[in-house]
A and B are shown apart, each in its own frame.
Chain A
Amino acid sequence: AIQLTQSPSSLSASVGDRVTLTCRASQDISSALAWYQQKPGKAPKLLIYDASYLESGVPSRFSGSGSGTDFTLTISSLQPEDFATYYCQQFNSYLLTFGPGTKVDIK
């Protein structure tokens, strides 16, 4: 089964910072990667699909890139509402896997 790793596991940042999160797959998944944002006590929210496509209604400060095994989620200017945990998710051979998450908190 394909495994996903995310780095860092947590980071502290300030409002206005540019933040880059990384997700690595254990084998080539082409562009079959999505990113989610989860706030405490809430369901995850889809941000990015197919590695780089912005879900409708998601602010343009979020962007995704990568293909194969290495992917990034970038927040161009961190806003107060962006402090949350971010998960990547892959789809391969009809199965889904989530990464362990990156928690972004306030410096």
Chain B
Amino acid sequence: QVQLQESGPGLVKPSETLSLTCTVSGGSITNSYWSWIRQPPGKGLEWIGYIYSSGSTNYNPSLKSRVTISVDTSTNQFSLQLSSVTVADTAIYFCARAYATTMVTLDFWGQGTAVAVSS
């Protein structure tokens, strides 16, 4: 059973870069897609982007200019960087496996990590 765990700072200052890592256990990160999703307090889910283990990416157009997702197959981890953050980026950040069949669905999720943007 694949398990995912997010890690990173819980507090980021405005204009700085948010950096999170997702560690995958119980399976290899290779030959799969991996995704980041976020959820502002009391609101719905927003897809951020996904990466294939080879390094190819797709991002939410609304965040694309500020987002970088990368993968490290040697450590079974993938990461999120979100630049120039504002208070609007305060959210629970989830990582998930993006399972591709005829569509892409998110079948295994981390528990989420809370990130607050504040000075």
A-to-B contact residues, CB < 8 Å = 1, 31-34, 36, 38, 42-46, 49-50, 55, 87, 89-91, 94-101
The CA-CA distance from A90 to B101 in the complex, in Å, is: 13
A-B contact pairs, 15 of them (CB 8 A): A31-B103, A32-B102, A36-B45, A38-B45, A43-B111, A50-B103, A89-B105, A91-B104, A95-B47, A95-B60, A96-B35, A96-B104, A97-B47, A99-B44, A100-B44
The CA-CA distance from A97 to B105 in the complex, in Å, is: 11
The CA-CA distance from A38 to B109 in the complex, in Å, is: 12
> For A99, what are the chain B residues with a Cβ–Cβ distance below 8 Å?
44
In the complex, the answer to whether A87 meets B44 with C-beta atoms within 8 Å is yes
> For A45, what are the chain B residues with a Cβ–Cβ distance below 8 Å?
109
> For B67, what are the chain A residues with a Cβ–Cβ distance below 8 Å?
none
* Residues of chain B in range 8-53 having any CB-CB distance to chain A below 8 Å: 35, 44-47, 50
Q: A44-B106, A49-B105, A91-B105 are in contact. List 18 more A-B contacts (CB 8 A).
A: A31-B102, A31-B103, A32-B103, A34-B105, A34-B106, A43-B96, A43-B111, A43-B112, A44-B94, A46-B107, A49-B107, A50-B101, A50-B102, A50-B103, A91-B104, A95-B61, A100-B44, A101-B45
> For B106, what are the chain A residues with a Cβ–Cβ distance below 8 Å?
34, 36, 44, 46, 89
- A50-B102, A50-B103 known; A95-B109 Cβ under 8 A: no
